[in-house]
Amino acid sequence: MIPRYTNPEMGKIWKEQSKFDYWLRVEKAVSKAQAELGIIPEKASQDIIELAQFDIKKIDEIEEKTHHDVIAFLTNVSSYIGENSKYLHYGLTSSDVVDTALSLQMLDSVAIIVRKVKNLTLVLKKQAVKYKDVVMVGRTHGIHAEPITLGFKFAVWVFEMQRNLGRLEQARENIAYGKISGAVGTYANTIPQVEEKVCKTLKLAPSPASTQILQRDRHAQMLSAIAICGATLEKIALEVRGLQKTDTKEIEEPFAQGQKGSSAMPHKRNPILCERICGLARILRSNLIVSLENIALWHERDISHSSAERVIIPDSFILLDYILDKTIFVVENLNVRQDNMMRNLMKYGGIIFSQRVLLELIGKGMLREDAYAVVQDAALKAWDEEGSFKENLLKEKNILKYFTKDEIEGLFDVKYHLKHIDEIIERVKKV
């Protein structure tokens, strides 16, 4: 991923230096296990553990000739070990090292993601409680529906982030596997006990059955969890964008001192962070498609997945890490315009109370179809003429047969619609 969207902590895990560090960590664990089992001499294991190192520049030079990165790596590492280098990578295939190391990289990466998901959940939870009584209009199809509160909106996101956390943790469990089972996974030139010892050292579980590779459904599950989490962040960002529109202006993303919105129009205050979150979330979903296609490989494996994974796996972790930070910043620092919320809420004289009026008329004995017609007529007249729904009702003789004017006024009490919000917020507090 380009530096613009890479946080240092996550980016470090996916640098070339770190990749080879993970590879060498696996090779050392293998040599230790093999020595303990009497497969290689103890002195060979000691030399590998104590002397092995690498030079990325030299690895690159060797790979220009070999066109095989693992062989280039092993050739360079061997040059530091001496005679006992013949026991390096003994009985292994490249994917034993690469896939086991990749699991370690993904585990270290998802630990960062999980930490930030928990942080975002906490921020959303605080905002849900803070704004639990801030009334605004709820919208369906982009059209005014019924009253909600801003805190309720945050509450919905709290529970969705909890589900994202669960998906990430389940994916973490299924990627926490290694394999040291040889060229087609049958342990032909090694033994299962080596795999068991190596995985125990690395705090992984041995794959119960693998081909030359760990099966890619494991990786696809992780990228699925990442993509879904990204989609939630996009959902939050999209809502901010929608509510920041000039004609709505109910909440706004932070706008820094000295920030410029447009090279042409000085008045512009654009939701650029939220737009960036939405754009990068699309990449996460496209990466998932590639990961799903990597599951089906020829026979015991081909290498078509490898090139794609060099891009999609690092980029997915790096991007989710980045947009989590941006979402946390936006949610923590939202500019909430409560006066505009109230203005928009009562637009057209309270058409958002149409369902309550409908139900009350039915309760008074009017047939549903008749009640719907008279309420709709009053509401659409307010909509088309930018008038007042309440005033239209007060002029309607068929309404006044069932209600006094004071009773009609009472139907426009926003508290009626919000009487259960506190119950939802109490659920949030338990998260």
What are the catalytic residues?
141, 262
Torsion angle of alpha carbons 264, 266, 269, 272, nearest 10°?
A: 30
CB-based contact 87:48 (threshold 8 Å): yes
Q: DSSP letter for 349, please.
A: G
Taking a C-beta distance cutoff of 8 angstroms, is the pair 241, 276 a contact?
no
Residue 112 dihedral angles phi and psi, to the nearest 5°: -65, -45
Q: How far apart are CA 293 and CA 424, in angstroms?
A: 40
b/e map 101-112, b = 16+ CB within 10 Å? bbbbbbbbbbeb
Residue 92 sits at the vertex; the CA angle it makes with 220 and 105, to the nearest 5 degrees, is 35
Tokens of 48: 């590998």
The whole-angstrom separation of Cα 363 and Cα 371 is 10
Gap between the Cα atoms of 101 and 52, Å rounded: 17
